[in-house]
Amino acid sequence: MKVLIAGLSILALAACARPAAKPTSPVRVVVREAKDVQDFWRATLTRPLRMKVARGSIRASAVYPNPLPYHSRVRVTDGARTLVDTVVADVPMGWQFVELEGHRRVLLFDGFTGGAHCCFDTTIVQLGSAKGGTTRVDWGNLGRSLMRSALGTGDVFRTGDNDMAYAFSSFAASTFAIKILAYRNGAMRDVTGEYPALIEHDAREQWSILVKRMRSSDPFMRAALEPPIVSYLADEYRLGRGAQGLTRVRAANGPSPVSYATALTWLREHGYAS
């Protein structure tokens, strides 16, 4: 839920743009003709803006709009060598040098596609021995943050399960089970199960939301019980306690319009329950 709260706060303050997480080491960023990142929203084809970043021999830039609104030309070079030169369907949100799990040096380009609160994505540019390879990650509505990996060899990505958006209620009433992804062998891998303490913490937060909604005087909140139920059960199934979690929900919620069968079907279809 921390990811959701942070995303909604940024939505209210910055027209859905989220700043990149704090770099793991110093980095130089230059935004030409722009006082801040939000100036990109006022850029035009006749007055494009440029976001630049540099470290050592690596130089990167994003020119927006180019060639069309909601598109940016992204270019990364290492000396005379061009690592990336492409157009992405994004408003640029930021550059960030990081070291991912396994001591993988990468450059992250974060973008926003321009919807009401969707969608956020990240282009990962490989540096070091695997220079030039790219992987694009679609975060959907939630965005991402970085956290230290369990192995202590770099960072992994923390987000929520975007498939839960709108699945059982409006986006505002949706809740999202924690999801942790690692960049391994050039692709993103779901490694949430390797972080049981974080899953446990998220389960407690989901349960707290459920209890608050059951006790709420707001009929809208009382009618939106399925999102925290499903998020809570998703966490419990990841921890191997799905049956116990369902028993707890039934005991707390009792007979209600909430369809437990529908919730369980969704959890099975999305790999949480067998």
**CATH number of the domain that residue 31 is part of:** 2.40.128
Q: Of 140, 171, 191, which marks where a domain is finished?
A: 140
Residue 261 is assigned to a structural domain of this protein: yes
Do residue 91 and residue 6 come from a single domain? yes
CA distance linking residue 164 with residue 171, whole number of Å: 9
Q: How many domains does the chain have?
A: 2
Question: What residues does 209 pair with on adjacent strands?
Answer: none
Report the amino acid identity of residue 104. R
Do residue 173 and residue 89 come from a single domain? no
CA distance linking residue 119 with residue 142, whole number of Å: 8
Do residue 6 and residue 134 come from a single domain? yes
Do residue 195 and residue 259 come from a single domain? yes
Do residue 37 and residue 116 come from a single domain? yes
Residue 151 is assigned to a structural domain of this protein: no
For 152-188, the pLDDT digits (tens) are 999 999 999 999 999 998 888 999 999 999 999 889 9
Residue 146 is assigned to a structural domain of this protein: no
Overall pTM surpassing 0.75 (yes/no) = yes
Between residues 272 and 253, the one the model is more confident about:
272
Do residue 197 and residue 72 come from a single domain? no
Terminal CA-CA length for the chain: 25
Do residue 120 and residue 182 come from a single domain? no
Do residue 14 and residue 113 come from a single domain? yes
Containing structural domain, residue 29: 2-140
Between residues 18 and 88, the one the model is more confident about:
88
40: confidence class by pLDDT, cuts 50, 70, 90: confident
Residue 155 is assigned to a structural domain of this protein: no
CA distance linking residue 122 with residue 228, whole number of Å: 27
Do residue 169 and residue 132 come from a single domain? no
Do residue 85 and residue 15 come from a single domain? yes
Q: Using the 8-state DSSP alphabet, how is residue 44 labeled? A: -
Do residue 256 and residue 205 come from a single domain? yes
